A and B are shown apart, each in its own frame.
Chain A
Amino acid sequence: GESVGLHLPTLSVQEGDNSIINCAYSNSASDYFIWYKQESGKGPQFIIDIRSNMDKRQGQRVTVLLNKTVKHLSLQIAATQPGDSAVYFCAENTHFNAGGTSYGKLTFGQGTILTVHP
């Protein structure tokens, strides 16, 4: 369900488990998606991205899955480590035109708190 204010979805896992974080996006015109990790007191850190012409992309220990039919994005983290504990945001990129150029603007989801227990 939806969360408001401080009541972010949470995911608690044991070290070594795989984690799956889900995200629903809103704009069917969005063509580029990014997952960010944000630790306390820091800015969002880029993890992995995927373009809308793909449905899966893999990085180091992370995989992003995109289902455009239901406007759903997921981030899978393999062998989760305590250092992975953070808030994870998905962001969808929508294109706009201004000044004779095209640019993208990110809209962020609500975030999921991942806690990894040793």
Chain B
Amino acid sequence: DTGVSQNPRHKITKRGQNVTFRCDPISEHNRLYWYRQTLGQGPEFLTYFQNEAQLEKSRLLSDRFSAERPKGSFSTLEIQRTEQGDSAMYLCASSNRDSNSNQPQHFGDGTRLSIL
């Protein structure tokens, strides 16, 4: 299977702990996105990478959040000092680039974060 892969699938942690999620995009895709989804809502954009460059961060991404894509392949999303409100599904998506950037984003199955 060459789809988007996310690890771990589930993470349960106590408030105040740090967590890190990993995303492996589809191999030939140079664009990578992180989204957050809460129950009953559609995914909300968090941040975007083109190759290793982080080109946009949503205002949803507080200072406790950091994302990296060091070699332009896999990406990590870290949340420091987790809070109850961070409980959500964190989704990663990737896409290829065409001349006008209209290519569908393909999603992984997400990491579900639960803060106790």
Contact = CB atoms under 8 A, between A and B. Distances in A.
Contacts of B53: 99
Contact of A43 (B50, B100, B108): B108
A23 to B, nearest CB: 10
A104 B102 contact: yes
A46 B104 contact: yes
Contacts, number: 75
Interface string A5-25: 111100000000000000000
Contacts of A7: 40
Contacts of B40: 5-8, 111
A44 B43 contact: yes
A29 interface: no
Interface residues of A, number: 34
B104 A34 contact: yes
B110 interface: yes
Interface of A: 5-8, 31-32, 34, 36, 41-46, 49, 51, 89, 91, 93, 95-96, 98-99, 101-111
Given A7-B40, A46-B107, 17 more contacts: A5-B40, A5-B41, A6-B39, A43-B4, A43-B108, A44-B43, A49-B104, A98-B56, A99-B50, A101-B50, A103-B31, A103-B48, A103-B55, A103-B56, A106-B43, A108-B43, A111-B40
